[in-house]
Amino acid sequence: MRISSRGQYGIRALVVLAGRHGRGPTQVREIARVEDLSAKYLEQLLGRLRTGGLVRSVRGARGGYVLARDPVAITVREVLLLLEGSLAPVGCVDEGGTCGDAAGNACVAHPLWRGLHATVLGYLDSFTLADLVPVAAPVEAARAAVPAPAADELVTAATRG
Amino acid sequence: MRISSRGQYGIRALVVLAGRHGRGPTQVREIARVEDLSAKYLEQLLGRLRTGGLVRSVRGARGGYVLARDPVAITVREVLLLLEGSLAPVGCVDEGGTCGDAAGNACVAHPLWRGLHATVLGYLDSFTLADLVPVAAPVEAARAAVPAPAADELVTAATRG
DNA sequence: AGCAACTTGACCGAATCGGTGGGGAATCCG
DNA sequence: CGGATTCCCCACCGATTCGGTCAAGTTGCT
């Protein structure tokens, strides 16, 4: 049940972009510096996100990456789907997955996995990039030295829902 | 977000044992035959489950494996925890996991992952082995040619909850 | 033109995964 | 007792994935 570092890094990178949304492109190097990641590796991830339509790139001097949509309109589910490939816990609940025995009946645990998949997707759908930027106001720059107490509320709310 | 085949196989094996609970030990070979798995591989998994206290083994001729507890008292969460090692989606929400920056603050996505972890654990806790045996009556042998319509109800209920 | 920045794709070491093999050790049955 | 049966343990293996690097090449701003 691991989210690979691709997913984690991708989320972190997009949160940075979300925090600067509307203020021009941000370079890979800058994101890598802020989040302390390998710039080369980040490049790969942003490439996937670009072909997936979540970010747009601006080439040339003073170029960089920009969110393709408002942070409020990008869910964590979308991001992870692009970077992780699939969020299905087992192959047989994925697209075109089969787990039937010879008679074509599904495996005994099929309902279990399907429910788990749905639960996970539902949870990840309830988070958008805007929910993850450290400060509440989307216009203000991130200067927060305080651990953002609103975050805990978010968790419990999402967990309950 | 994958459950490895260890977890899947383990669940399937234990469901077999659950279906025969109270009727003596079942050999690895028999489970492997019924579920069409590699017997040698299954041995390893059952070894883990044994040291984890979920099954007991009986050596010698006519030996095999038996559930250590009633199927109703074994949750899917326990099983997967033993076979998968940890169900934390990312390292930093695991036991002794750290993701703080230099200042010791948690990473921006921490609440996200923590909530996901809690959601998954809660879901997996709501399933026991007894919920997964194909027929409703625990005494009858599995002869069901019908796809068990109760399964769908289970899913939707679990998904909603 | 010249440089900054993205693009593409090969490559790499390590870890994990799914699975096999073989040699015990315990236990039952005759 | 003696052999058959069954679990137990540990080493090993090929393939894949993961995280990450390197080395070109291309595009576009200034």
Write the pLDDT tens digit of every residue in A119-153.
999 999 999 999 999 874 444 443 333 333 333 33
Write the pLDDT tens digit of every residue in A66-108.
999 999 999 999 999 999 989 999 988 887 667 765 555 678 8
Report the C-alpha gap between A14 and A50 in whole angstroms. 11
Radius of gyration, alpha carbons of chain B? 18
pTM: 0.84
Contact B84, A1 (CB under 8 A): yes
DSSP structure string for A26-73? B-HHHHHHHHT--HHHHHHHHHHHHHTTSEEEE-STT-EEEESS-GGG
Query: Would an 8 Å CB–CB cutoff place A6 in contact with chain B?
Result: no
pLDDT over 60 at A154, yes or no: no
Nearest CB among B89, B106, B154 relative to A111 is that of B154
A31: left (phi over 0), alpha (psi -120 to 50) or beta: alpha
pLDDT of residue B153: 39
Query: Would an 8 Å CB–CB cutoff place A114 in contact with chain B?
Result: yes
- For residue A1, say whether its CB is under 7 Å from any atom of strand D: no
Report the C-alpha gap between B109 and A126 in whole angstroms. 14
- For the record, the structure tokens of B156 come out as 């939707």
Residue A76 with chain B: CB contacts under 8 Å: 112
- For the record, the structure tokens of B23 come out as 């009727």
Closest Cα in chain B to A11: B109
B-proximal residues of A, 28-67, CB under 8 Å: 36
